[in-house]
Every structure is written in structure tokens, then in C-alpha cells.
Amino acid sequence: MFLSIFDIFKPGIGPSSSHTMGPMVAAGRFLSALRGGAEPEPGAGPPTHVTATLHGSLAWTGAGHATDRAVMLGLLGFEAANVDMDRAEAALAALRESRTLTPEDLPAMRFDPDADVVFDWGPPLPGHANGLVFRAFDANDKLHMEETYYSVGGGFVATARELSEPPDLGSAKSEAGFPYPFGTAAAMLEMGAASGLSIARMKWANEAASTPEAELGARIDAIWEAMDDCIDRGLAQGGILPGGLSVRRRAKDIYEKLRAEAGLNLAQPHVWGDWLSVYAMAVNEENAAGGRVVTSPTNGAAGVVPATIRYYRDHCVGATPEGIRTFLLTAAAIGGLVKHNASISGAEVGCQGEVGSASAMAAAGLCAALGGSNAQIENAAEIALEHHLGMTCDPAAGLVQVPCIERNGLGAIKAVSAASLALRGDGTHFMPLDNCIEAMRQTGQDMSDKYKETSRGGLAVNLPEC
């Protein structure tokens, strides 16, 4: 199995990779299908009207996650990776005024932002908790084309057909020349032992099979640069987050207090956790405000990995730029295993699949950057994931704010603790990472939908009366 580092870590906008970035991608794919990528219904005329229906978690928490807005941006031709927000806002305003889409290489099509994004609060579609259906009609209201998409977490999107017929990634990638196509942690350790290579070096070799090495290094460095910039933006911003909960941005204030305490010999020894938390909170406050973040592996969990890298760079002895590359490559390898064998979608398995996966990735990355062996790295990932099992996804008001922002800080703290514990041992441990990933998958299957990003249970329905 090979999933690129650039699939795991990719730039986008908040507040959600599954509820914002995914629907934008799906809308763009539907436009491509209308341009000739799929056959229209027999006898249908040219498309003149487009609708989108949101199902499952996309309906239940779509308003809080701005999913309707994301659909409109996708239909207007914007892409999450490089959207210019000033242009996007102007285009949305024009759409609300004209109620007409004018996509490139397609006829003008009617689209009413108030009526043509439908929130269906009935049962979810069969393929995944995050389903959406696009339909185009001709001038006589005859169906021209219909396609069902699923936003499966981390900004990944699949049609109903693609989801029901998954490709054999392992054999296909191996035959294509990827030298270490491990699909399990056990295979990863076996390949590392046989080759004498670290997990990061195996991941590098896989990436280098399709990307020139000079370009590869620059692109990996760009991932960290985007993460680091996001932390800095979050640490500089104050005010109230959008959405109606009146949640105050706290990272800037906490950061200023930590800086004021530095060097005064007044700090408690556990202040390292405050540094980790403030870095993570800075990212997730940016995400909650709809800012630019890097999926790690999702937007809702986007603060854990960057916070842990920043902690490594600024607080750990012997940190180097090469260590940051090692961190990211190793973290991506672990994230790929979780996605391949379970899920990184909060709507599918709860927050154990988002912050839990991110914490496992960060623990593995930090352990690798600090010189851990492959066995110690696998142990670190397992410790971090094991202690997130059962974590629900229950955002208040469907917003990626409470408890999501603080939860990223605690995920980073667990990652550092897990890496430290693993480095104190020799890699030998009782529960293999593969078994822990499978336990996470099974727990997600058994978890009530109330606790899987629908805001119908848990903290989301236990708010204080004001």
C-alpha cells in the first residue's frame, strides 16, 4: 500500500476537511462530469439547473461546518488548495445576487443558494456517513445527470461506484515501482528489517519513485513551512470565532503569557504541555475561523502534528531541519496505515479517527526525529492511538470549536508522552499497532451515530443554559 505524503498533508481551508474541502472537491468533479466526463441521461437536453443534497453527517453538521458554502465555492470553480478568499467572497455575493452559475465550458445554469443546497436529515446514504448527491436538469426539468459522492475524511472524495469497488492499492503500486508498498505496520517493520532502512527512508524511497528527489525535499519542506505559518498566524490573532458560540480565541493570550514567563525561573515543570497546547490551539483557531491549514490528517485534527513539530524544533535538544523531514515522512507512513486499514473520518469512527490518528502520527514522527528505531516508532504510534480509543466526535453546534480546539492540544501532549515512553524501551510491547488500528475500526463501527459528527449526543447536547 502506498499513500503519498502529499495526500496525507495537503493545504486547504477550514473548518473541516470532510465537510468543507471534500464537498468543494466533489462539486468540482461534478462540473468535470458535466463537461464530458460522464454520459448524460438519454434524451436529456443541456443542463440548465443544478442542485446538491447533503446526507448523513454532512446534513446534521453541515451548517456549522459551512458545507453549503463549500458546495457553492466548488460549483464556482474554486479549489481548496489555492482558493483566494477575497475573490471567493466576491463570487459568492455575485451568485446570491444572480442565482446563476457560469462555469467555464458549460452553459449558464440556474442555482439558488437558498433552495438548491438541500439538507436531508433522514438516514445517511449506504456508502458512508458523509454523502452528497449532485443533480443537473435540462430546461424541461428532466434529469440530465446525477452523481453521488462520499467525503471520506481528510479531503478525500469517492463516487458511489469508486467506494464500492476499491482498487487493489498494494499490488498496483508495487507493480508501478514503489519499492516498499507496506499495507500494515507488521509489513512495514519486516521491510525495514530486511532493507536496513528506517521508516522515513522507506517512505522517501516510495515518494522518490514518482517525484525527483530535489523536488521531493522542497515539497516536504513546504509542508512544514505552511504548518509553521499557520501556527504563527494563530498566535497573532485575537477576537471571537465565527459561528454564534462566542468562543474567544485564546492562543495569542496564552502565548504572550508563556513568553513573558520564559527565563524568569517561575514556570512549573509541566509548562511544556502549555507550549504544546498553545501551538495546537493556534492552528485549530485558524481552522475554526475558515483560515488556511494543512490536513494532518484532517482539518479537525490539524493542530496535533504541527504543534509537536514546533515543540521538537523549539524545545528539543538536537533538533534539525532533517529531523523535521524525518518526522513528516514517518507521520505520513502511520497516517496512511490508519486510513488504509480503518478511517480518519470523524463521521465514520468518531474523533478517535481524527485526533487519535493525528496523535499516533505525531508520536511516531517525534520518536523518529529523536532517533528512535522502527520498533520504537511503531510502539509510540500504538501508545498514542490506544489511549484515544472510543473518543467521540460531538462538536457543539456542529462547529469545529468545542471541544475540538483544546482536544488538539491534548492530542499533542499524548503524542509527546507516547514518544517518550517508547524511547525509554526497546520497542518490545504487548499490543501491535495493527491490532490497535483494527480495534479503532471496530469501535467506530459499534459507536452510535449520535457520537459521530452529528452533534446529536455527548457534549453537543449537554450545554449550559444561558
Percent of the chain, pLDDT > 70?
97
Each residue of 174-215: pLDDT tens digit? Answer: 445 799 999 999 999 999 999 999 999 999 999 999 999 999
37 to 29, 132, 146, 247: CA distances (angstroms): 9, 19, 12, 44
Helix and strand element counts for the chain (H, E): 19, 9
Residue 292 pairs with which residues in a beta bridge?
A: 13
Distance (Å, rounded) from C-alpha 29 to C-alpha 34?
A: 9
In this model, does residue 466 exceed pLDDT 50?
no
Ramachandran sector of residue 262 (left: φ over 0; alpha: ψ -120 to 50; beta: rest): beta
Contact partners, residue 53, CB within 8 Å, separation at least 6:
117, 118, 120, 132, 133, 135
Which CATH number applies to 17-164? Answer: 3.30.1330.90
Each residue of 376-412: pLDDT tens digit? Answer: 999 999 999 999 999 999 999 999 999 999 999 999 9
Cα dihedral 53→99→146→43 (10° resolution): 150
- Helices 374-386 and 321-341 meet at what angle, rounded to 10? 60
Distance (Å, rounded) from C-alpha 258 to C-alpha 255?
A: 5
Mean pLDDT for 368-382 is 98
Q: What length is written for the chain?
A: 466
Instruction: Give the sign of the dihedral formed by CA 159, CA 54, CA 457, CA 298.
Output: positive
Mean pLDDT for 424-444 is 98
Q: What per-residue confidence (pLDDT) applies to 174?
A: 45
Distance (Å, rounded) from C-alpha 18 to C-alpha 455?
A: 15
Burial (Cβ within 10 Å: 0-12, 13-18, ≥19) of residue 82: exposed
Mean pLDDT for 221-233 is 98
In this model, does residue 38 exceed pLDDT 90?
no
Q: What per-residue confidence (pLDDT) applies to 1?
A: 63
Q: What per-residue confidence (pLDDT) applies to 166?
A: 57
Mean pLDDT for 104-113 is 96
Q: What per-residue confidence (pLDDT) applies to 81?
A: 87
* pTM (two decimals): 0.93
Per the CB < 8 A criterion, the answer to whether 418 and 363 are in contact is yes
Evaluate the omega torsion of the peptide bond into residue 297 and state whether it is cis, within 30 degrees of 0.
Answer: yes
Distance (Å, rounded) from C-alpha 218 to C-alpha 210?
A: 14
Weakest-pLDDT range from 31-40, 374-383, 436-445: 31-40
Q: State CA 99 to chain mean position distance.
A: 31
Percent of the chain, pLDDT > 90?
91
Ranges of each domain in the chain: 17-164, 169-461
Evaluate the omega torsion of the peptide bond into residue 47 and state whether it is cis, within 30 degrees of 0.
Answer: no
In this model, does residue 265 exceed pLDDT 80?
no
Instruction: Give the sign of the dihedral formed by CA 27, CA 33, CA 36, CA 39.
Output: negative
